[in-house]
Amino acid sequence: MSVRMPPADKAVLSRREEIVRALRAIVPGEGVISGDIEMRPYESDGLTAYRQLPMVVVLPSTTQQVSEVLRYCHQNRIKVVPRGAGTSLSGGALPLEDGVLLGMGKFSRIREIDYANRVVVAEPGVTNLGVSKAVEDDGFYYAPDPSSQIACTIGGNIAENSGGVHCLKYGMTTNNVLGCELVLMTGEILRIGGKHLDAGGYDLLGIITGSEGLLGVVTEITVRILKKPETARALLVGFPTSEDAGECVGRIIGAGIIPGGMEMMDKPAIHAVEEFVHAGYPLDVEALLIVELDGGKAEVDHLIERVEAIARACRASTLRISNNEEERLLFWAGRKAAFPAVGRISPDYYCMDGTIPRAQLPLVLARMREMSKKYDLQVANVFHAGDGNLHPLILYDANNPGELERAEAFGSDVLRLCVEVGGVLTGEHGVGVEKRDLMPAMFSEIDLNQQQRLKCAFDSEGLLNPGKVFPQLHRCAELGRMHVRAGKVAFPDIPRF
């Protein structure tokens, strides 16, 4: 492991047996797991390069139990790492040696479906797809659709503010959540929001969403559901250069069209998926674009024609339009299988997640090709083209000494490049442990300290998921200190009236 985690608290570790007993008293039966072999499934999340057995695993099944576990841990200064399905790609659920791993998998019930208000009230362990499945027979769905949607939980989606291929048009998790029940590290239970729109005060829900499990543990969530669009059709367009593809994306949006999905792949990615899925992707193009339009049939047919004209004007070398659902799904089959397809041609791959201003794409791809030579590692790119979210997949073999480290260094260079061109470190996978030490590339110490002060408002002892997101941990008392420059500040030289 190349990332330093907070030092283990020896005093806590020495009390392990007593702690396990106390937790068993709160969560009886099989809800507490303490054997090394039984805890093995929890040692890592989707970022499998990092592994650590927790001190103990607790699987509560009621809000009351969550509250009591947290209160006990708060009183005894024990760290807690919350976990949903463990699909995080940034190590957000990586356990701590001296920490309780709080698994929320037993919160797997949908509590209410309310069509009149178009909301679903779910427990955090319900899968993302599970929400859509629960309402699909009535023609509704939940819009954010991360590619892990079959496994990832709605609670994890809150923690990570998950996106998906449709978020340009339909927004990310934060735009689709209305309320939650939240347990603070002290055990205090709060209700925030509900079935109505907007907070009546500070937008605490907006802060909790995307907080990577550092502020509280969510035990119930209210999300908005939407009626499924009448129809959807897709175009599959190949371009001789990535510049042409990028121009096409810009001109579609410039023409006032916001597609339901707009995905780009570069040549290495196209070849990897075509060998795997046989979706009929053209192999002689440098960039492939999938543009999906959804809505009423009249609208979709109209917009398909306009997008086709734009694509041809941008020198498209191949262009196909889906005429039925089967064809549309085939266009997507390749893109959706991109990660496993790359996994097939390389023993390991490292998935990055920067966002860039879209116009910078050709520059970023060119610089990435240079880096690929420098690190002697191949890279394949898939790109949520509409919103500039880039997923370079760096191919490596962990069995070759030094390759993982090279892949990580390559990845860090890519993310620094994203920031350099006006973008950000992570578009949807989160900072976690993976990008933690890169945070100073984007934020000053003042920026990061202000974020940590906000954390102190929720968790004054820094016990919830420490070691994630922030490269340096400070005690809240230290962060709260003020250095008022009394006497040293001249009467400010600012126009006064």
Partner 1 sequence: MPDVLKPRDARDVENAVVWALAEGKRLDVVGQGSKRLLGRPSQTDLTLDLSALSGVTLYEPEELVLSARAGTPIAEIEKLVADKGQELAFEPLDYGPMLGLPSGRGTIGGVLAANLAGPRRIKAGAARDHFLGFSAVSGRGETFKSGGRVVKNVTGYDLCKLLAGSFGTLAVMTDVTIKTLPRAESEVSVMVLGLDDRQACVAMAEAMGSSCEVSGAAHLPAHLVMHFEGLKAQGQAATVLRLEGVGPSIAHRKSVLAAMMKRHGQVETLDETASRRLWRDIRDAAPFGHGLEADRALWRLSVPPARGFELGEMVSTGAQMFYDWAGGLIWIGMPQAEDAGALQLRDAVAILGGHATLIRAPAAMRAAVDVFEPQDNGVAALTKRVKESFDPRGILNPGRMWAGV
Based on the shown chain and the rule CB under 8 A, indicate whether residue 63 belongs to the binding site for partner 1: no
Based on the shown chain and the rule CB under 8 A, indicate whether residue 210 belongs to the binding site for partner 1: yes
Based on the shown chain and the rule CB under 8 A, indicate whether residue 256 belongs to the binding site for partner 1: yes
Which of 188, 275, 325, 376 is close enough to bind partner 1 by CB under 8 A? 188
Based on the shown chain and the rule CB under 8 A, indicate whether residue 194 belongs to the binding site for partner 1: yes
Based on the shown chain and the rule CB under 8 A, indicate whether residue 359 belongs to the binding site for partner 1: yes
The Cα 365–Cα 264 span in angstroms is 12
Which of 9, 136, 286, 299 is close enough to bind partner 1 by CB under 8 A? 299
Q: How far is CA 63 from CA 25, 188, 219, in A?
A: 15, 10, 6
Based on the shown chain and the rule CB under 8 A, indicate whether residue 456 belongs to the binding site for partner 1: yes
Closer Cβ to partner 1, 124 or 193, answer by number? 193
Closer Cβ to partner 1, 58 or 143, answer by number? 143
**What angle do the packed helices 403-420 and 361-375 form, to 10 degrees?**
160
Based on the shown chain and the rule CB under 8 A, indicate whether residue 147 belongs to the binding site for partner 1: no
Which of 1, 13, 258, 309 is close enough to bind partner 1 by CB under 8 A? 258
Closer Cβ to partner 1, 169 or 372, answer by number? 169
Closer Cβ to partner 1, 9 or 443, answer by number? 443
Stretch (H or E) spanning 24: helix 16-26
Bridge partners for 294 per DSSP: 232
Contact indicator for 251, 314 with CB cutoff of 8 Å:
yes
Task: Label residue 460 exposed, middle or buried (CB < 10 Å: 0-12, 13-18, 19+).
Answer: middle
Based on the shown chain and the rule CB under 8 A, indicate whether residue 290 belongs to the binding site for partner 1: no
Q: How far is the CB of 261 from partner 1 (least distance, A)?
A: 13
Write the single-letter amino acid at 405: E
Instruction: Identify the DSSP state of 214.
Output: S
Backbone angles phi, psi at 209, to 5 degrees: -70, 120
The Cα 280–Cα 333 span in angstroms is 10
Based on the shown chain and the rule CB under 8 A, indicate whether residue 477 belongs to the binding site for partner 1: no
Closer Cβ to partner 1, 65 or 389, answer by number? 389
Closer Cβ to partner 1, 231 or 317, answer by number? 231
Find how far residue 134's CA is from the centre of its chain.
23
* Binders in 375-394 for partner 1, by CB under 8 A: 384, 387-389
Stretch (H or E) spanning 411: helix 403-420
Instruction: Identify the DSSP state of 358.
Output: G
Q: How far is the CB of 19 from partner 1 (least distance, A)?
A: 27
Based on the shown chain and the rule CB under 8 A, indicate whether residue 190 belongs to the binding site for partner 1: yes
Based on the shown chain and the rule CB under 8 A, indicate whether residue 197 belongs to the binding site for partner 1: yes
Nearest to 236 by CA among 343, 308, 131: 308
Q: How far is the CB of 111 from partner 1 (least distance, A)?
A: 15
- 124-142: string of b/e by CB count within 10 Å (b at 16+)? bbbbbbbbbebbeeeebbb
Based on the shown chain and the rule CB under 8 A, indicate whether residue 229 belongs to the binding site for partner 1: yes
Based on the shown chain and the rule CB under 8 A, indicate whether residue 358 belongs to the binding site for partner 1: yes
* Binders in 103-122 for partner 1, by CB under 8 A: 114-118
Which of 16, 40, 302, 374 is close enough to bind partner 1 by CB under 8 A? 302
Backbone angles phi, psi at 40, to 5 degrees: -50, -45
Task: Label residue 333 exposed, middle or buried (CB < 10 Å: 0-12, 13-18, 19+).
Answer: middle
Closer Cβ to partner 1, 29 or 201, answer by number? 201
Based on the shown chain and the rule CB under 8 A, indicate whether residue 192 belongs to the binding site for partner 1: yes
* Binders in 413-452 for partner 1, by CB under 8 A: 422-431, 435, 439, 442-444, 446-448, 450-451
Give the CA angle between residues 481, 485, 490 to the nearest 5°.
160
